A and B are shown apart, each in its own frame.
Chain A
Amino acid sequence: MENFISIFLNSVFVGNILLAYFLGMCSFVAISKNMDTAIGLGFAVVFVLSITAPINWLIYYYLLAPGALAWAGFPDIDLSFLKFITFIAVIAGIVQAVEMVIDRFSPVLYNALGVFLPLITVNCAILGTSLFMVERSYTFGESLVFGIGSGTGWLLAIVSMSAIRIKLRYANVPEGLEGFGITMIVTGLMAMGFMLFSGITL
């Protein structure tokens, strides 16, 4: 249990997928202009991450990892080089399926998240989480917690960024620095803030 809490807190704060590993920057810069869309996209990322991380875990450890096909009678096969293409296909498929399910069962949620779901397929944070999960050899439970944690961290970062950008509209930013430049610098300052949590040990 402690292990899960520590993975969760680490992936939300110190190892924030956006602020420490720079993943999901493209949509972060583009979407954080607007608070409502930032919240919508943030929740969509949490949702998709908490589904894709455990599913990719199952696929990797039962189909792709070295020796994973032992249950089918092929203990010598190592398909791990296929992980990139498999993960991205799984992510694209799941996003599509999630979109259809939401559309069918919850029109309200669909209206809130619908536009963002296709964008998520090419969000590096989603693929990055699955790849980190393999690299850090998490167990199934840990990968689920890690997926939720990374998503929450990303949500926190994009919502705070959009709040800061609302304030920035009234700031007198030097010419040439407005837009992308100042966004990067503010993100850097925010990342410093998040790093303060590295003193916490569980």
Chain B
Amino acid sequence: MRLTQSRYFKAFSEPLIQNNPISMQMLGICSALAVTVQLKTAIVMGLSLTFVLAFSNLTISSMRHVIPRNIRMIVELSVIASLVIIADQVLRAFFYDISKQLSVFVGLIITNCIVMGRAETFALGNPPGLSFLDGLGNGAGYGSVLISVALIREVLGAGKFLGIGIIPESLYRAGYENMGFMQLAPAAFIIIGLLVWLQKSLVKN
């Protein structure tokens, strides 16, 4: 069997584009957009979510035969919440500035619909290895949307790429101005709407 045909590969690659959690399944937009003013915070947020998602899928999938059906939500929530605490503490310890900028949004990974949704729909019915890859794939798909939005907002809004100015000085002197609107909340909604449009038309062809 070729690598691209195996279900392990599919579990990882499908959520990247065809079944992207944000633009196709419309999950997890909450808490996603607020961190996209800068590229740096978007990358860190994408990584934290991937970590939480992959390990919550792994843990829940390993326990799937022993979790009683009635209280599975509570079990899932406590697994997810513990992983989020780990992610938050690591960020605080090693990347204090970024964790200040992410403020409450790391904590909100707990209620991110992607994490709950993947635990419910995938991890409860599939073996741990497959679930782990599914988590990685969904995390990466989520991160890629976040990073594209952040890239557009940071380059157009502040003229910077990862905090370094990339618009040449001569352009500013010629009358170019940063689009301040990109830094505000409404811009994120509009960019994500346009990205979804782009992706839907690309995937269909």
Which residue numbers of A lie inside 8 Å of B, CB to CB? 19-26, 29-30, 81-85, 88-89, 92, 121-128, 131-132, 135, 174-177, 180-185, 187-189, 191-192, 195
Determine if B204 and A195 form an interchain contact, defined as CB atoms under 8 angstroms apart. Answer: no
List chain A residues, Cβ under 8 A from B74: 92
Determine if B88 and A22 form an interchain contact, defined as CB atoms under 8 angstroms apart. Answer: no
Contact pattern, B 93-116, Cβ under 8 Å of A = 1, otherwise 0: 000000000011001101111001
List chain A residues, Cβ under 8 A from B104: 128, 131-132, 135
B201 at the interface (CB under 8 A from A): yes
13 A-B pairs (CB sep. < 8 Å): A20-B185, A25-B29, A82-B85, A83-B107, A85-B78, A127-B107, A128-B31, A131-B104, A131-B107, A135-B103, A181-B197, A184-B196, A189-B186
For this complex, into which size category does the number of interface residues on chain B fall? 35 or more
Determine if A188 and B81 form an interchain contact, defined as CB atoms under 8 angstroms apart. Answer: no
List chain B residues, Cβ under 8 A from A195: 184-186
Determine if B111 and A122 form an interchain contact, defined as CB atoms under 8 angstroms apart. Answer: yes
Determine if A127 and B110 form an interchain contact, defined as CB atoms under 8 angstroms apart. Answer: yes
> Which partner residue on chain B sits nearest A93 by CB separation?
B74
> Which partner residue on chain A sits nearest B192 by CB separation?
A184
- Please measure, in the bound complex, the distance between the C-alpha atom of A125 and the C-alpha atom of B31, giving whole angstroms: 9
- In addition to A177-B193, A181-B196, A188-B187, 9 A-B residue pairs with Cβ atoms within 8 Å of each other are A22-B34, A26-B113, A85-B85, A88-B77, A127-B108, A183-B193, A184-B192, A188-B190, A195-B186
